[in-house]
Amino acid sequence: MGWYATEFSGLAVNPPDVEGLLAWQFLKYNCSRWPAGRTTLRLRSVAYFEMAISKMKSVDSSNSIETPMNPNPEHLVWIKPGTFTMGSPIIEVDRLLNEGPPTQVKLSQGFWMSKFETNQTEYQSVIGTNPSYDKGDGNLPVEMVSWDDAINYCRKLAERERAVGLPAGYEYRLPTEAEWEYACRAGTTTRFGYGEDSGYAQLGDYAWYFSNSGNTTHPVGVKKPNAWGLYDMHGNVWEWCLDWYGDYLGGSMTDLRGSHAASNRVFRGGSWGGNGRGCRSAFRVGSWPGNRGNGIGFRSVLAPGR
């Protein structure tokens, strides 16, 4: 099983898409502030949105194509395009062989990533059920979800958002494995997004894992975020990625995607039940897509469709 490089073939972020996205942001902003007046307000918003778009564009005149306005600043972080080294160097403490050879990956398109693991309130509101093993607080991450469940959630979330103006060129989906590690590292090359921490002395500040979790999940967003504002990238629940699990090939690749010819999907980041080693940025696991466990959840990204 190998890896292949491919260019995303979907819609580029062009000016019409940005306009649509700004309109969606405007509608959402107004609707969320006055949910009782949703319909009326939405109509009113539509009437004014052209004016709002021109206003927002002038605010974001630096480069609204590379860095679109954030449609949901409370929950999403813009992850800009860039290049990073995926996998770990052979000298990394507690490294495993499947983390190499290190592979240079260019991500040609930016995307929005959820700051948080998908929580149980969100999952319930989109799917209608809460399959989680540990319940009691809606802000706990959803678990007991298969890869297919996560995909289904993203699809239904996109349907719901399109009803309130999400442009057709955008989709919710899982991050690719490369996108996940790029976001987890947040510009670092160290074992963790906050530093090397070869003795796991600081990990408890950023992650719920075996040593501090009390053998259960914890509400998302409690520990410190990484430099790009993402919470729980280390620990709490494992996070399903879009890709099949495959071996790294090394070299340089653009928009790396997992192998076609594989049977396992990737999940990343460690969990409440695992050790510090498994929380490292480069640590990777593959599992059959139907696997539902109380240590596995996910977070979504919003990106141009492919």
Which residues bind to Ca ion, rule: CB under 5 A? Answer: 232, 236, 269
What is the smallest separation between the CB atom of 157 and Ca ion, expressed in angstroms?
19
Q: Which is nearer to Ca ion, 42 or 234 (CB)?
A: 234
Q: Which is nearer to Ca ion, 236 or 287 (CB)?
A: 236
Q: Which is nearer to Ca ion, 56 or 113 (CB)?
A: 113
- The burial class, CB within 10 Å (0-12 / 13-18 / 19+), for 75 is middle
Q: Is the Cβ–Cβ distance between 154 and 300 less than 8 Å?
A: yes
Classify residue 98 by its DSSP letter.
G
- For residues 4 and 253, what is the distance between their CA atoms, to the nearest angstrom? 8
- For residues 113 and 299, what is the distance between their CA atoms, to the nearest angstrom? 8
Q: Which is nearer to Ca ion, 84 or 209 (CB)?
A: 209
What is the smallest separation between the CB atom of 297 and Ca ion, expressed in angstroms?
7
- For residues 221 and 238, what is the distance between their CA atoms, to the nearest angstrom? 15
Q: Which is nearer to Ca ion, 99 or 232 (CB)?
A: 232
What is the smallest separation between the CB atom of 124 and Ca ion, expressed in angstroms?
19
What is the smallest separation between the CB atom of 199 and Ca ion, expressed in angstroms?
21
- For residues 192 and 195, what is the distance between their CA atoms, to the nearest angstrom? 5
- For residues 96 and 282, what is the distance between their CA atoms, to the nearest angstrom? 9
- For residues 291 and 31, what is the distance between their CA atoms, to the nearest angstrom? 37
What is the smallest separation between the CB atom of 36 and Ca ion, expressed in angstroms?
35
Q: Which is nearer to Ca ion, 138 or 169 (CB)?
A: 138
Q: Is the Cβ–Cβ distance between 304 and 179 less than 8 Å?
A: no
Q: Which is nearer to Ca ion, 23 or 296 (CB)?
A: 296
What is the smallest separation between the CB atom of 237 and Ca ion, expressed in angstroms?
5
Strands (E), the chain: 4-5, 76-79, 82-86, 103-107, 111-114, 170-173, 238-244, 252-254, 256-257, 265-268, 284-287, 296-297, 301-304
**Amino acid at position 297, single letter:** G
- For residues 191 and 15, what is the distance between their CA atoms, to the nearest angstrom? 39
What is the smallest separation between the CB atom of 235 and Ca ion, expressed in angstroms?
6
